[in-house]
């Protein structure tokens, strides 16, 4: 395991092919300020640039995943620092990337914290946590992705209830309706996310990235576009060394040895 700290409030550790990114402001419920936004963007930069890392996990230190925007920073006139040019809020919610990121939700994910989860590809949550977008309770609007991402993950009526009442839902309900991929016992979200990441890393990384890209790009498009993008992704996978390793390992009855190229 190696570690580095992109900023004072973001920890980055590596475990095999996995990059674990931790928001480390437990005294502030991991609320997003300018340092968190800059640090999280730097962490994603590192994940994307390191060819030895194939999957990222995003979590928060302490009993809260993330409570959203730091209202003290906003009150101090620092609202603009909570977003970056490439990543938007927290340096992440609008960030274009190739590698999958799993949210490990070990505590409440509220407001912008819930929107961080929605910006991830997958989510693993402890059973004792909850998800919510309470912005309307403060005469605010959830502007970091929840208003269009929630109804992609949840039934429209449930998404409407959440954004109009501001009331959270628990992890069991979030899992039932598909917002959460896997549930864990309290305190085990990171381990559950690690297991899910390992399942992804068992596959050819370029094939995973190309498949992810097409799935996300074809949400809401017609079949013609779906066929075109699928064909492009298949051609990209065919051009790699790993494309030959998959069938060879199957024929030889062994685990494949992916090179990521």
Q: Which amino acids are annotated catalytic?
A: 115, 135
- How far, CA to CA in Å, does 186 sit from each of 24, 31, 61, 171, 172? 19, 21, 14, 11, 12
Whether residue 13 contacts residue 2, with contact meaning beta carbons closer than 8 Å, is answered with: yes
Nearest C-alpha neighbor of 8 from the set 36, 29, 33: 36
Helix/strand/coil for 55: strand
Whether residue 100 contacts residue 122, with contact meaning beta carbons closer than 8 Å, is answered with: yes
- Strands (E) across 28-154 are located at 55-60, 83-84, 88-89, 101-105, 109-110, 122-126, 130-132
Whether residue 128 contacts residue 212, with contact meaning beta carbons closer than 8 Å, is answered with: no
Distance CA(91)–CA(68), nearest Å, equals 13
Which runs of consecutive H residues, i.e. helices, occur in the chain?
A: 34-49, 71-75, 112-119, 146-153, 156-165, 171-177, 189-201, 205-217, 223-238, 242-251
Phi, psi of 13, deg, nearest 5: -125, 155
């Amino acid at each position: 395991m190696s570690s580095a700290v992109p900023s004072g409030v973001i920890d980055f550790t590596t475990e095999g092919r996995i990059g674990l990114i931790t928001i480390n402001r437990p005294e502030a419920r991991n609320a997003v300020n300018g340092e968190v936004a800059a640090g999280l963007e730097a962490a994603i930069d590192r994940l994307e640039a390191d060819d030895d890392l194939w999957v990222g996990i995003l979590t928060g230190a302490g009993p809260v995943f993330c409570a959203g925007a730091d209202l003290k920073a906003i009150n101090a006139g620092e609202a603009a620092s909570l977003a970056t040019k490439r990543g938007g809020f927290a340096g992440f919610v609008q960030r274009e990337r190739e590698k999958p990121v799993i949210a490990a939700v070990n505590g409440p994910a509220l407001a912008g914290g819930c929107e961080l989860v929605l910006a991830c590809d997958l989510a693993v949550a402890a059973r004792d946590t909850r998800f919510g977008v309470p912005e309307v309770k403060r005469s605010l609007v959830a502007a970091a992705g929840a208003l269009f991402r929630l109804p992609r993950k949840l039934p429209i009526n449930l998404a409407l209830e959440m954004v109009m009442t501001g009331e959270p839902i628990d992890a069991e309900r979030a899992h039932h309706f598909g917002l959460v991929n896997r549930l864990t016992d309290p305190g085990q979200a990171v381990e559950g996310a690690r297991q899910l990441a390992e399942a992804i890393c068992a596959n050819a990384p370029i094939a995973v990235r190309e498949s992810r890209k097409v799935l996300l790009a074809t949400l809401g498009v017609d079949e013609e576009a779906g066929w075109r993008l699928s064909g492009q992704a298949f051609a990209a996978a065919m051009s790699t060394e790993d494309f030959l390793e998959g069938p060879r390992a199957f024929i030889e009855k062994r685990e494949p040895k992916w090179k990521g190229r």
